[in-house]
């Protein structure tokens, strides 16, 4: 399968714990995006990388959130001191700079904070 | 920033009939408009997109139209089938600003 993959698919945690999600983009894609989707809403942009550089961060991304893409391949999204309001689907997408804005999404990681 | 509105929020059509979903956008700089289909428990799947240099694009039973003057674009699905049942999202962005701004989604139900 050459699509975007995300792990884990589901994560249940207690309030105050830290969680980390991983995204593996399509292999030839140099752009990688994180979005958050709550129930009944469309995805909301969080941040994006071109290669290893983080080029834009949404105001939704509070200080408790950090994303990395150290070698320009996979990316991690960490949430520290989770809150119940962090419960959502976290989606990763990738695209090729040569292919325009076409973004291809992974299956997402569903986070539940108890 | 960009704001995308999508209507209707739910739509039920008889199998074989056509379905139309409409979106409006606020930022006149937007020039890329994709449509995504999302099935339960899955990530959004890109089904068709259009760039502002064309007014219409078609791919088999799916078509998208764009009216730049009115800042709205629409998804048309003809000869609907049960497997078309899903939530559909429109989005907008422009080259140089890579983030997609999504609409709130339309839950399409095809009645057999």
Task: Indicate if the pLDDT at residue B108 is higher than 60.
Answer: yes
pLDDT per residue of chain A (114 residues) written in tens, 0 to 9: 579 999 999 999 999 999 999 999 999 899 999 999 999 899 999 999 999 999 989 988 889 999 999 988 999 999 999 999 999 999 999 998 776 779 999 999 999 999
Q: Which of A43, A45, A101 sits opposite B95 (nearest CB)?
A: A101
Query: From the CA of B111, how many Å to the nearest CA of chain A?
Result: 21
The reply to whether residue B49 touches residue A103, judged by beta carbons under 8 angstroms, is: no
Tokens of B57: 């694009």
Q: Looking at chain B, which residue has its C-alpha nearest residue A42? A: B104
Average pLDDT, chain A: 93
Q: Looking at chain B, which residue has its C-alpha nearest residue A57? A: B99
Report pLDDT digits (tens) over B13-37. Answer: 999 999 999 999 999 999 999 999 9
The reply to whether residue A105 touches residue B102, judged by beta carbons under 8 angstroms, is: no
């Amino acid at each position: 399968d050459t699509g975007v993959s995300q792990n884990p698919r589901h994560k249940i945690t207690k309030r105050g714990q830290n969680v980390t999600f991983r995204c593996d983009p399509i292999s030839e894609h140099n752009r990688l995006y994180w979005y958050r989707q709550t129930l009944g809403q469309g995805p909301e942009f969080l941040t994006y990388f071109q290669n290893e550089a983080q080029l834009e961060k949404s105001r939704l991304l509070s200080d408790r959130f950090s994303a990395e893409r150290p070698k320009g391949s996979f990316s991690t999204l960490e949430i520290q001191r989770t809150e119940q309001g962090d419960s959502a689907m976290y989606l990763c997408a990738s695209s090729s700079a040569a292919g325009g804005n076409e973004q291809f999404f992974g299956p997402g990681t569903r986070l539940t904070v108890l | 920033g960009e704001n995308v509105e999508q209507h209707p929020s739910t739509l039920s059509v008889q199998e074989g009939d056509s379905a139309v979903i409409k979106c409006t956008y606020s930022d006149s700089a937007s020039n890329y408009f994709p449509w995504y289909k999302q099935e339960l428990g899955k990530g959004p799947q890109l089904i068709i997109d259009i760039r502002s240099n064309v007014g219409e694009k078609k791919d088999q039973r799916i078509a998208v139209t764009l009216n730049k003057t009115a800042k709205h674009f629409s998804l048309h699905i003809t000869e609907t089938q049960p497997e078309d049942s899903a939530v559909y999202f429109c989005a907008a962005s422009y080259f140089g600003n890579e983030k997609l701004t999504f609409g709130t989604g339309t839950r399409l139900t095809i009645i057999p």
